[in-house]
A and B are shown apart, each in its own frame.
Chain A
């Protein structure tokens, strides 16, 4: 039960010492909520939370006033899938917790245990307006990719918000390859693993052991197999997505979120009816595999129009530890191909928060939400825009990273 309570617990992050009372004045406030976009809107931050949002909010005594002068003011972006904080350098044989190729531990892999808030990519990403991330490593030998975590990008030692937030599962070509090369083997293996997990610890204590899982993986998988956690499933083809939908219908206690879904647009109505969210990459338009033959640029727009819950993140295979900041560019490209702006911005902020179960405190500028707030020098989905201020739980973050330090050292004007 220890695990279960850990799973259900939204780990409260201690109120940062430097949280101040801040009034952001006269912005174009994207609330991501019922109030929509408030022109000339104000956002009041007190004790790390949003205290008020609206027009003409009076600054409390002692509040710092930040004049937004019509600039976009938004919730922080939420990287819906990344390897952020799991790797300082991905290649070159450098220490790298983002890739796993052993098979001793699979489902039990614990992303939270590997997250390092001090890697340079965290600050590099934070100063681009990304304040939260869902993280998990990639490249395992198993169809189970381990337990993902939700993290804050404030760089603090306690910035893991939630461990055990989701379970990564490969159920397409990649998953098939990991159980001998065929989906014919993959599905029975998946079902057997769920049975092992549900029967943990009984069958293991009896000496019988698992049919397909070792004890530690069965233990880690158990809450998910009992519907107490979410499976983040990588599938691409319409055929594989239909199989997930059928499987969920037969096992209504289980929760699935699809990551990838290059052909999801073909089964948009069924996904909407099944209430299965999809995390898509709006740049995937090449038949780069036989499970992506009908990939297209307006996938996100078509899914959204059909009523599917859509989040945006790099596709499986392009998720990395350094470029989570590109979520904003991905969303802008979804807009270029038909996704309404509001839905696109929500797809990298509110929607990931909701999918991962923290939608009650993150992803909106509404009273009592955690004060992750970004002020921009332009439309945040434009590639030419950048933040002018980033607050995480009410603490303004310095817009400095190792990259900006290098920039300043070599800035051409500095030499003249």
Chain B
């Protein structure tokens, strides 16, 4: 992320450093309150594993022919040619196969909108007031959602769950590991992943609240709502800061302002649902006015119109390959949005926002790559893979841990039956932290309590 010369950013950068400590903190200014709901994730047991002789996309944009990938102690140990297998290592024949980093979906509602989808399980949108920055979507996530297994079978090893988009401020998002036998959401939380804040531009907030004859009812109402909330948060953050410096009492805890202060001080990364170029530009103005960073625009159907601005600002765009037309703010969707953003040197991400789409994000990237190349670009399949792993890791603040096959990263690895930028490829093996968590064709116990003991006679895929 590019650092901007801005007084409040400079302050935030300092606070951000303090908040990078991984130990639980009780500092007043620790707006993420790390001690609460801490991750209890434990990697599954793994053995050293060597995948030999595969075509490898390293997640950084390089394609390696006939390469080996070695995983040890849950981390990528080496990627190269003719690697030696450690004693007792599992050896996987990669001939004809493709190996990639695990896919990271930057925009999912699994667990919060789980299967089965009935009124009682619709848990993803606290659509009761325009600002619900106080809610945490992790408190809506049902670990038994059968969608987690389907996502893993599509090569997903990390997913970012967001609350819905009815509100200007929807609440905090959470980055999860798809732990298939998790009973609590804490077991799924990606260790030390920053929390996020979901905001929403455009039609959704103004439709929901305008429909109730309350503000916001318009685009200008949306922006006024954002700005007043950030102004309130600035005052709250100043009072926290002052109290930490021995100057007066800290303010009463306010969960809503705590989230916003967390964005101001850099602890919480902002994920902003915003379709239109002009609205994204307004959002960027607001970020300058109040001195916070936007990690990514989500849906970002018109990012192609402002790709240079997004590159300059260091803001990622999480996009669909071809969704369009389902509302007026999605009307200018084009198939080349992702490749045009990529071509401009901005950070392009393929996201799903769908329990169906999350199962084949590789195909969505393939479509975007092919459309870009037909439009005259020259995007390789390994470059396209950065949209699925490195770039979402960057937007979520976990790029030092996952998203590429660099030595030392968590061993989040997928072995594909064929070129994964094809309709016909399937994930054969999925590793998370070096542990084999999914193998196609293998008998899998029903992973969720919900599916256990249902009447069907053969296991549905």
Q: A325-356: which residues lie under 8 A (CB-CB) from chain B? A: 325-326, 329, 332-333, 335-337
B142 vs chain A, min Cβ distance (A)? 13
Given A266-B456, A322-B325, are A287 and B424 also a contact pair (CB < 8 Å)? no
Q: A307-330: which residues lie under 8 A (CB-CB) from chain B? A: 318, 320-323, 325-326, 329
Set A295, A336, A385: member contacting B460, Cβ < 8 A? A295
> Complex: how many Å from CA A336 to CA B362?
14
Most buried by A among B327, B454, B460: B460
A288–B421 touching, CB < 8 Å: no
| Selected A-B contacts with CB under 8 Å, 7 pairs | A92-B327, A94-B328, A322-B324, A335-B423, A383-B363, A383-B366, A386-B370
Stretch at the interface among B52-60, B124-132, B233-241, B374-382: B374-382
Set B147, B334, B458: member contacting A407, Cβ < 8 A? B334
> Complex: how many Å from CA A23 to CA B272?
52
A403–B424 touching, CB < 8 Å: no
For residue B38, CB closer than 8 A to chain A, the reply is no
B117 vs chain A, min Cβ distance (A)? 5
B460–A332 touching, CB < 8 Å: no
Given A333-B423, A407-B335, are A384 and B370 also a contact pair (CB < 8 Å)? yes
4 closest cross-chain pairs (CB), A and B: A332-B423, A294-B456, A91-B327, A384-B370
A321–B325 touching, CB < 8 Å: yes
A322–B450 touching, CB < 8 Å: no
For residue B118, CB closer than 8 A to chain A, the reply is yes
A386 vs chain B, min Cβ distance (A)? 6
B333–A288 touching, CB < 8 Å: no
12 other A-B residue contacts (CB within 8 Å) besides A285-B461, A323-B322, A411-B375: A91-B326, A92-B203, A121-B325, A283-B359, A289-B116, A294-B454, A329-B423, A332-B424, A336-B424, A377-B374, A384-B422, A407-B334
B327–A89 touching, CB < 8 Å: yes
B328–A383 touching, CB < 8 Å: no
When each residue 79-93 of chain A gets 1 if its CB lies under 8 Å from chain B and 0 otherwise, what string results? 000000000111111
A286–B355 touching, CB < 8 Å: yes
With contacts defined as CB atoms under 8 Å apart, how many contacts are there between chain A and chain B in the complex?
A: 145
Set B304, B336, B460: member contacting A285, Cβ < 8 A? B460
For residue A298, CB closer than 8 A to chain B, the reply is yes
B282 vs chain A, min Cβ distance (A)? 19
For residue B425, CB closer than 8 A to chain A, the reply is yes
Set A93, A287, A323, A335: member contacting B115, Cβ < 8 A? A287
For residue A412, CB closer than 8 A to chain B, the reply is yes
Contacts of B326 in A (CB 8 A): 89-91, 320, 322
> Complex: how many Å from CA A359 to CA B178?
46
Q: A343-388: which residues lie under 8 A (CB-CB) from chain B? A: 377, 381-386
Closest to B381 in A: A384
Q: B338-353: which residues lie under 8 A (CB-CB) from chain A? A: 340, 343-344
A286–B118 touching, CB < 8 Å: no
For residue A293, CB closer than 8 A to chain B, the reply is yes
Contacts of A326 in B (CB 8 A): 322
Closest to B211 in A: A93
The size of the chain A interface, using a CB distance under 8 A, is 53
A382–B422 touching, CB < 8 Å: yes
Given A384-B369, A410-B305, A412-B307, are A289 and B422 also a contact pair (CB < 8 Å)? no
A288–B116 touching, CB < 8 Å: yes
When each residue 232-265 of chain A gets 1 if its CB lies under 8 Å from chain B and 0 otherwise, what string results? 0000000000000000000000000000000100
Give A contacts to B, CB under 8 Å: 88-94, 120-121, 124, 263, 266, 283, 285-290, 293-298, 318, 320-323, 325-326, 329, 332-333, 335-337, 377, 381-386, 403-404, 406-407, 410-413
A323–B323 touching, CB < 8 Å: yes
Contacts of B461 in A (CB 8 A): 285, 296-298, 337
Given A92-B203, A323-B322, are A286 and B146 also a contact pair (CB < 8 Å)? yes
A319 vs chain B, min Cβ distance (A)? 12
> Complex: how many Å from CA A385 to CA B424?
13
For residue B451, CB closer than 8 A to chain A, the reply is yes
Q: B414-459: which residues lie under 8 A (CB-CB) from chain A? A: 421-426, 450-451, 454-458
A302 vs chain B, min Cβ distance (A)? 10
Closest to A315 in B: B356
A381–B423 touching, CB < 8 Å: yes
> Complex: how many Å from CA A66 to CA B150?
44
Contacts of A90 in B (CB 8 A): 325-327
B147–A412 touching, CB < 8 Å: no
> Complex: how many Å from CA A285 to CA B207?
32
> Complex: how many Å from CA A383 to CA B370?
8
B161 vs chain A, min Cβ distance (A)? 16
B26 vs chain A, min Cβ distance (A)? 42
B425 vs chain A, min Cβ distance (A)? 7
A385–B115 touching, CB < 8 Å: no
A74 vs chain B, min Cβ distance (A)? 15
> Complex: how many Å from CA A412 to CA B307?
9
Contacts of A385 in B (CB 8 A): 370
Contacts of B456 in A (CB 8 A): 263, 266, 293-294
Most buried by B among A93, A286, A337: A286
Given A295-B460, A385-B370, A411-B340, are A287 and B146 also a contact pair (CB < 8 Å)? yes
Contacts of B383 in A (CB 8 A): none
Contacts of A336 in B (CB 8 A): 423-426
Contacts of B147 in A (CB 8 A): 286
Q: B133-150: which residues lie under 8 A (CB-CB) from chain A? A: 146-147, 150
Set B307, B340, B423: member contacting A383, Cβ < 8 A? B423
Contacts of B375 in A (CB 8 A): 407, 411
For residue B331, CB closer than 8 A to chain A, the reply is yes
A286–B356 touching, CB < 8 Å: yes
Contacts of B115 in A (CB 8 A): 286-288
> Complex: how many Å from CA A37 to CA B421?
25
Contacts of A377 in B (CB 8 A): 374
A384–B460 touching, CB < 8 Å: no
> Complex: how many Å from CA A295 to CA B116?
12
A176 vs chain B, min Cβ distance (A)? 14
B119 vs chain A, min Cβ distance (A)? 12
For residue B192, CB closer than 8 A to chain A, the reply is no
> Complex: how many Å from CA A56 to CA B185?
65
> Complex: how many Å from CA A89 to CA B460?
35
A331 vs chain B, min Cβ distance (A)? 8
Closest to B323 in A: A323
> Complex: how many Å from CA A120 to CA B328?
13
Closest to B344 in A: A412
Contacts of B366 in A (CB 8 A): 383-384
For residue B329, CB closer than 8 A to chain A, the reply is yes
When each residue 384-428 of chain B gets 1 if its CB lies under 8 Å from chain A and 0 otherwise, what string results? 000000000000000000000000000000000000011111100
Closest to B376 in A: A413
For residue B299, CB closer than 8 A to chain A, the reply is no
Contacts of B374 in A (CB 8 A): 377, 386
Given A288-B115, A289-B118, A406-B334, are A294 and B460 also a contact pair (CB < 8 Å)? yes
> Complex: how many Å from CA A325 to CA B146?
28
